Amino acid sequence: MISPYKVSSFFALLFMACFFQVSFGVSKPSKEEKTLLMADSVTHERNFDLLIARGNVEVEHSGDVLVADQVTYDKSLNRVTASGNVMLRSKEGDIVFAEFLELSDSLKEGTIREIRMILRDEAKLAAATARRQEGGTSIFDRAVYSPCKVCRATPEKDPLWQVKARRVVIDETAQDVIYTDAFLEMWGVPVLYSPYLSHPSPNVKRRSGFLAPTFGGDGSTGGFLAVPYYWVISEDKGLTVTPLYADSHPGLALDYDQRTRWGTLNLSGSGLTGRKDISVNHSSKFRGHFVGHGDFHLTPSWRAGFDVERASDQTYLRRLGYFGLNHRSSLVSRGGLEWFSERSHASIQGYSFQGLREGDRSAVTPVLLPMIDYSFLSRPGQWGESWTLDGNLLSLYRSEGASMQRASVTGGVSLPYQGRFGDVYTFGARLRGDAFFVNDFTPEGDASSLQGGEGLVFPQAYADWRYPFVRLSSGTRFLVEPRLGVVIAPHSGYSRKHPNEDNLFFEFNHLNLMDESRFAGLDRLDSGSRVNYGLGSSIFFESFGGEADLFLGQSFAFHEPRESLMGTGLENKWSDYVGRLSLSYQEWVEIKMRTLFNRASFKPRRNEITASIGQPIFKFSTDYILLPGATSDPLDRRGEQIQLTLDSQITDNWALKATTTRQLGNGSFALSHGIGAVYKDECFTFSTSLEKTFYRDRDIRPGVTLLFTIVFKNLGEVTQKL
């Protein structure tokens, strides 16, 4: 179908008739609407009340230019005609060519013969005639439209694709574009026909109607079909109703959007009926999900919001990737209120979670209500010192297992200092006080549960030093930066009477090596005194566009680390080594690595590597990850995985891709294989991919998925998943 936005630029011709009224004295031009007329000659035929401009006629008005061999203005009939090499160039960049132009009947009707247009995005439009009728209706006869480039050597050759229609009608009153007998041609061959087609004009921002359907399926879920209908409820509200056929059952999806003067609201959900799935402990005939989001700016200092994410069972969203939530391991619902000032922030929130991993149970999943946070940062003082104050109040509940209430307040001061030789120091101190109460908490290894409260006060002082050395030479810059940090604190911590809720997953790395508190949460103290040291170096080769960056570091604790740090790399006084490596050379090589090495054997305990080698014509890349299992979570096991990818941009338009993903270690096996191809030019995109999966997860079975997408510039796209 023809893009109505591009077609509508033709009507810029109509206002050109006003130029002639202004130029020939029918009305007085305003300062804002001056018109310039140039021609080899201008004749006034008084007997016929005609004004005729001949030879290289050019009319300019507000940035739009009309050029023709002859322009005639018939004052008695209120008619303007232009003939011979007619060209109109609009200030927006559209160019119109025609053999003949006529505007008449008080400028409400007009005709253009043999119209040809080059639009601002280099798309082309041609029609045998274009007519404008009274009432705001415009008609194009035998119209052809294509955004594809035409070969200059063989301009008669058909473009990659084009739309031909016997008639295109643009109703400006109803704001509709109507096509009659429209063909979509590719390489000059008709591939799609529509006897009648209608859609809103491009200036219509919202209108009720059907949207493009999505259909397909795979080996695990079977067939899928979604036919969305958009309903404009009012100027600020809209609802998309989508009948579904998925997973061999009928269903319905709803998506509601609303914009208010304070913010936005979105509510969406879906449901399928008629299926019971015992394999995921879901015996109801209904499966579905609900997602809600609200963000409201009440005042410049207050903001409220919420997010709701729930599903009927753990695999529903994975089976129906149509909703874009198929890679989530948990669903998070929250609501809260926030306050901002120049240097302070406070919030009160509530959280609820739904685990989607096998073994997750709602009875032992916590609910956080409320969770109150406050943070304050002072302005720098006389010596550059900054004061901080952080507070947290938390109530955590479970229907089975431990519940907890906790209050924590931390005050601190930080003083930066720079030496005369470029050495940089940071000195600081913090004081933290906590109080908590637990109920029905059973420490690991104990038979009985605990109930009661405790409190503690935890002081901490720290200092950090770094000294960057830079050497410059011809085309090369070399940087070496040693770092040293000292943390002094009592070797204390929470007793075993307090559960660990927010530090189940701790990663010791180069980013938190120098931090005075390496834990993200508050349920475990980073206690004890220690020395942290590291060495970073970088080199930049400006002459050939290469660079390298390396950092290695370690921590030494003055006391034996606590049992809670087992498996993190900090279970001994001398910690494991943390490292970062980055290498790049122009577009040929790019390597990034984060690692944790065993201090005794130098074997990696955790490794994350991303690398690519080659040029667009042939590029090989890999993503490798080695993660230790969390000792506090029996469901989180040691994992080792690699993905290999081969990309090839074989021509300017064609690209190929092949990928494989494998689980490594004991029982190594392939997770998936895939291949794909993409064709892309200025007016058309085609992509296809074929993927074979081998893993199982409850009712998710191995299968083959074929996906292809076709995108026509300015028309839309078609996507199918098989």
pLDDT digits (tens, 9 = 90+) for 346-376: 999 999 999 988 888 888 899 999 999 999 9
The Cα–Cα gap between 450 and 497 comes to 7
The Cα–Cα gap between 321 and 126 comes to 42
Q: What is the mean pLDDT of residues 233-242?
A: 93
- Sign of the C-alpha dihedral computed for residues 679, 684, 690 and 691 taken in this order: positive
pLDDT category of residue 1 using cuts at 50, 70 and 90: very low
Instruction: Say if residues 60 and 29 touch (Cβ distance below 8 Å).
Output: no
pLDDT of residue 23: 33
pLDDT of residue 578: 97
pLDDT of residue 687: 87
- Sign of the C-alpha dihedral computed for residues 152, 157, 161 and 164 taken in this order: positive
Instruction: Say if residues 694 and 670 touch (Cβ distance below 8 Å).
Output: yes
DSSP letter for 605, please: E
H or E stretch covering 568:
none
Instruction: Say if residues 444 and 532 touch (Cβ distance below 8 Å).
Output: no
DSSP letter for 280, please: G
pLDDT digits (tens, 9 = 90+) for 83-111: 988 888 878 777 888 888 887 645 467 78
Least confident range from 4-8, 12-16, 487-491, 540-544: namely 4-8
pLDDT of residue 699: 67
Q: Which positions ≥6 away from 578 have C-beta within 8 Å?
A: 508, 509, 510, 513, 534, 552, 553, 554, 569, 595, 596, 597
- What secondary structure does DSSP assign to 214-235, as a single string? EEEEETTTEEEEE--EEEEEET
Q: Which residue has the higher pLDDT, 694 or 405?
A: 405
- Closest by alpha carbon to 57, among 31, 20, 91, 26? 20
* pLDDT higher than 60, residue 537: yes
The Cα–Cα gap between 77 and 598 comes to 94
Q: Which positions ≥6 away from 666 have C-beta within 8 Å?
A: none
pLDDT digits (tens, 9 = 90+) for 400-420: 888 999 999 999 999 999 998
* pLDDT higher than 90, residue 313: no
Q: Hey, what amino acid is at 604?
A: P
Q: Hey, what amino acid is at 56?
A: N
Token pair 């020395």: residue: 531
H or E stretch covering 523:
none
The two three-digit tokens of residue 448, written as one number = 């009985």
Strands (E), 378-526: 386-397, 403-418, 424-441, 450-466, 469-473, 476-488
Q: What is the mean pLDDT of residues 228-232?
A: 91
Any idea what the Cα angle at residue 262 is, between residues 261 and 267, rounded to 5°? 100
- Superfamily of domain 4-147, CATH level 4: Lipopolysaccharide (LPS) transport protein A like domain (2.60.450.10)
pLDDT of residue 5: 32
Mean pLDDT, all residues of the chain = 84
Number of neighbours of residue 204 by Cβ within 10 angstroms:
13
Q: Which positions ≥6 away from 96 have C-beta within 8 Å?
A: 9, 10, 12, 13, 86, 87, 88, 89, 90, 115, 116, 117
Instruction: Say if residues 711 and 684 touch (Cβ distance below 8 Å).
Output: yes
pLDDT of residue 294: 97
Residue 126 in 3-state DSSP?
A: strand
pLDDT of residue 508: 92
pLDDT of residue 658: 96
The two three-digit tokens of residue 612, written as one number = 């690519």
pLDDT of residue 6: 32
The Cα–Cα gap between 525 and 517 comes to 8
The Cα–Cα gap between 607 and 578 comes to 10
pLDDT of residue 689: 86
The Cα–Cα gap between 689 and 670 comes to 18
The Cα–Cα gap between 325 and 269 comes to 12
* pLDDT higher than 70, residue 220: no
Number of neighbours of residue 110 by Cβ within 10 angstroms:
23
Q: What is the mean pLDDT of residues 179-199?
A: 85
- Sign of the C-alpha dihedral computed for residues 318, 319, 325 and 331 taken in this order: negative
The Cα–Cα gap between 438 and 394 comes to 12
* pLDDT higher than 50, residue 249: yes
DSSP letter for 4, please: H
Instruction: Say if residues 13 and 88 touch (Cβ distance below 8 Å).
Output: yes
Any idea what the Cα angle at residue 623 is, between residues 622 and 624, rounded to 5°? 115
Instruction: Say if residues 525 and 516 touch (Cβ distance below 8 Å).
Output: no
pLDDT of residue 36: 83
- φ, ψ of residue 49 to 5 degrees: the values are 55, 50
pLDDT of residue 21: 35
Percent of the chain with pLDDT over 70: 87
The Cα–Cα gap between 148 and 185 comes to 12
The Cα–Cα gap between 639 and 633 comes to 14
- Closest by alpha carbon to 670, among 646, 690, 691, 694? 694
Instruction: Tell me the domain boundaries of the chain.
Output: 4-147, 636-722
pLDDT of residue 413: 97
Q: Hey, what amino acid is at 479?
A: L
The Cα–Cα gap between 489 and 560 comes to 14
The two three-digit tokens of residue 694, written as one number = 């081998």
- Closest by alpha carbon to 388, among 407, 413, 408, 409? 413
The Cα–Cα gap between 221 and 233 comes to 34
pLDDT digits (tens, 9 = 90+) for 570-624: 989 999 999 999 999 988 999 999 999 999 888 899 999 999 999 989 999 999 9
State pTM to two decimals.
0.75
Q: Which positions ≥6 away from 543 have C-beta within 8 Å?
A: 474, 475, 476
Burial 540-550 (b: 16+ CB within 10 A, else e): beeeeebeebe
Instruction: Say if residues 553 and 577 touch (Cβ distance below 8 Å).
Output: yes
pLDDT digits (tens, 9 = 90+) for 15-54: 333 333 333 333 344 445 567 888 999 888 888 788 888 9
Q: Which positions ≥6 away from 232 have C-beta within 8 Å?
A: 206, 207, 208, 238
* pLDDT higher than 60, residue 3: no
Burial class (CB in 10 A: 0-12, 13-18, 19+), 372: middle
pLDDT of residue 187: 86
The Cα–Cα gap between 381 and 361 comes to 51
